[in-house]
């Protein structure tokens, strides 16, 4: 089906998580002050039924790993009405928050902030809408826009847009050869799946992974299933604390994005790998201390329930439907042997990967320029490098860590990045109007 003129947008965004919420704020601020002819007609699409974020990891006592000021807007426009502090003010919690003495909000608190922002931006977003295909439009050998196929409650329809922002978030990853099942979960499903358990009947649980999510799931299963033996499976010898020191945290500064983007690829990769301990496969020291205290106490009581499998990898996971359990094949590197472990539930906190644009572009993915590793490449403004000249931009948000650094998939730079993408969109529109004036391409 063909899009109608009434379905023509300046900007369509896939996903309405923090990144595109931040962009929506920037666009809304622009539209409020811009003349009518310069306003951006914008639509964000999200397959979820409502605004949310990591809904299955919203433990009541879990805190964020970033400061409150790294919200959706403060680093770009601290005077905005959409700041986290203004949210607290409206909720009557500003003094309480600062009396708490922590710069990090509770996770449930930050999600409440996101929902508050989403409510104020309701005119820009359509929920329960999944983008199923993206087709570039071309004219005169140039990319002039995109057609976006959307599946929603009505059916499948197509809208046209000049610019497209892919911020579809991260997808859960399992080790090779492992598939999800009734008793094999990813931590991204935790709360939803845990509610289906008869907690008192669970006798054994394996938690695979060595990062913050894994540590939190270990704590949760320890307390939720009082009769269960907990088997953490980690590839290292022990849990590694996250580095939140001020010098290391500069890797998340907006200025670091410029420095990393402009440096040689091998240097950028080496720096990124050296600083993964700020975020990836590491655990908050307070969480490590809490787990150690549990184990220390239980050892004194002669009732240890934590059984660590160090320097160990999962080779396979198979559900045994007759026994209502899971059989894991483990490779224990310290002993140099393979062993079997039978548990009632296996929970994989084994990370995420960014949305691959090929999923949506299909055969049109050949339009993307790629590096030697086959990864799509982008310009500094996060717009994809394409084989054809592009008057219309495809922005890759969360998919360019190999160019923009470790903050590409994290909250730290969402506010500044939103401003950069907005400036790029406005610049592309101005360039398009200039070309149209010469008769080379339509506006």
CATH number at residue 16: 3.50.50.60
Residues 185 and 289 in one domain: yes
**Average of per-residue pLDDT across 396-411:** 95
10 Å Cβ neighbour count for 146?
Answer: 23
- Picking from 252, 261, 251, the residue whose alpha carbon sits closest to that of residue 383 is 261
Domain-terminating residue out of 308, 323, 348: 348
Name the pairing type of β-strands 142-151 and 130-139.
antiparallel
Greater pLDDT, 355 or 392:
392
Residues 202 and 311 in one domain: yes
**Structural domain containing residue 236:** 173-242+279-348
Residue 346's φ and ψ, nearest 5 degrees, are -120, 125
3-class secondary structure, 26 = helix
Residues 56 and 177 in one domain: no
**Average of per-residue pLDDT across 147-175:** 94
pLDDT value of residue 439? 64
Residues 14 and 136 in one domain: yes
pLDDT value of residue 157? 93
pLDDT tens-digit map of 187-233: 999 999 999 999 999 999 999 999 999 999 999 999 999 999 999 99
Residues 196 and 295 in one domain: yes
DSSP state of 195: T
Number of domains the chain contains: 2
Domain-terminating residue out of 322, 348, 374: 348
Residue 42 lies in a domain: yes
Residues 391 and 343 in one domain: no
Residue 199 lies in a domain: yes
pLDDT of residue 321 exceeding 70, the answer is yes
Kindly give, in sequence order, each residue whose CB lies less than 8 Å from that of residue 349, ignoring residues fewer than 6 positions away: 186, 187, 207, 208, 209, 211, 213, 214, 217
Residues 339 and 373 in one domain: no
pLDDT value of residue 82? 98
Residue 5 banded pLDDT, cuts 50, 70, 90:
very low
Residue 71 lies in a domain: yes
pLDDT value of residue 443? 54
pLDDT tens-digit map of 272-317: 999 999 999 999 999 999 999 999 999 999 999 999 999 999 999 9
3-class secondary structure, 188 = helix
Name the pairing type of β-strands 170-172 and 8-14.
unpaired
Residues 331 and 207 in one domain: yes
pLDDT tens-digit map of 19-37: 999 999 999 999 999 999 9
pLDDT value of residue 331? 97
Name the pairing type of β-strands 170-172 and 352-354.
antiparallel
- Picking from 216, 147, 72, the residue whose alpha carbon sits closest to that of residue 361 is 147
Q: Name the pTM for this structure.
A: 0.94
Name the pairing type of β-strands 170-172 and 184-186.
unpaired
Domain-terminating residue out of 332, 348, 364: 348
pLDDT tens-digit map of 350-364: 999 988 899 999 999
* C-alpha distances out from residue 320 to 100, 290, 326, 344, 394, Å: 47, 33, 6, 9, 45
**CA separation for the pair 351, 171 (Å, rounded):** 8
Residues 370 and 422 in one domain: yes
E-state strands within 322-376: 325-332, 337-343, 345-348, 352-354
Residue 158 lies in a domain: yes
**CA separation for the pair 168, 45 (Å, rounded):** 10
Q: How many helices (H) and strands (E) does the chain have?
A: 12, 16
278: left (phi over 0), alpha (psi -120 to 50) or beta: alpha
pLDDT of residue 434 exceeding 80, the answer is no
Residues 26 and 104 in one domain: yes
Partners of 314 in the β-ladder: 330
**CA separation for the pair 11, 28 (Å, rounded):** 12
């Amino acid at each position: 089906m063909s899009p109608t003129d009434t379905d023509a947008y300046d900007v369509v965004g896939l996903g309405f998580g923090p990144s595109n919420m931040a962009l929506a704020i920037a666009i809304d601020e622009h539209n409020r002050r811009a003349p009518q002819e310069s306003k951006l007609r914008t639509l964000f699409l999200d397959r979820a039924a409502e605004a949310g974020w990591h809904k299955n990891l919203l433990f009541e006592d879990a805190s964020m790993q970033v400061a409150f000021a790294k919200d959706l807007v403060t680093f770009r426009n601290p005077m905005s009405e959409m700041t986290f502090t203004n949210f607290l003010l409206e909720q009557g919690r500003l003094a309480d928050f600062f009396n708490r003495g922590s710069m990090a909000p509770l996770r449930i608190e930050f999600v409440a902030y996101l929902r508050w922002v989403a409510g104020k931006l309701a005119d820009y977003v359509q929920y329960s809408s999944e983008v199923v295909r993206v087709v570039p439009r071309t004219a005169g050998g140039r990319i002039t826009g995109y057609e976006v196929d959307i599946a929603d409650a009505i059916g499948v329809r197509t809208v046209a847009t000049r610019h497209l922002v892919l911020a579809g978030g991260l997808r859960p990853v399992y080790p090779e050869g492992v598939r999800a099942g009734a008793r094999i979960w990813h931590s991204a499903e935790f709360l939803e799946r845990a509610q289906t358990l008869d907690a008192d009947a669970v006798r054994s649980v394996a938690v695979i992974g060595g990062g913050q999510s894994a540590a939190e799931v270990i704590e949760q299963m320890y307390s939720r299933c009082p009769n269960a033996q907990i088997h953490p499976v980690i590839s290292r010898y022990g849990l590694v604390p996250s580095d939140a020191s001020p010098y290391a945290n500069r890797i998340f500064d907006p200025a670091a994005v410029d420095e990393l983007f402009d440096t040689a690829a091998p240097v950028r990769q080496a720096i990124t790998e050296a600083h993964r301990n700020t975020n990836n496969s590491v655990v908050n020291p307070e969480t490590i201390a809490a787990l150690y205290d549990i184990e220390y106490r239980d050892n004194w009581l002669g009732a240890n329930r934590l059984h660590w499998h160090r320097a160990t990898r999962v080779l396979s996971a198979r559900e045994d439907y007759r026994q209502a359990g899971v059989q894991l094949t483990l490779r224990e590197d310290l002993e140099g042997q393979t062993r079997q472990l039978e548990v009632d539930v296996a929970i994989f906190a084994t990370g995420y990967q960014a949305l691959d644009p090929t999923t949506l572009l299909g055969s049109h993915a050949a339009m993307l320029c790629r590096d030697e590793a086959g990864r799509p490449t982008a310009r500094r403004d996060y717009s994809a490098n394409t084989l054809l000249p592009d008057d219309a931009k495809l922005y890759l948000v969360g998919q360019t860590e190999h160019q923009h650094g470790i903050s590409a998939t994290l909250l730290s730079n969402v506010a500044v990045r939103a401003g950069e993408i907005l400036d790029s969109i406005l610049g592309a529109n101005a360039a398009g109007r200039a070309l149209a004036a010469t008769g080379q391409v339509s506006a």
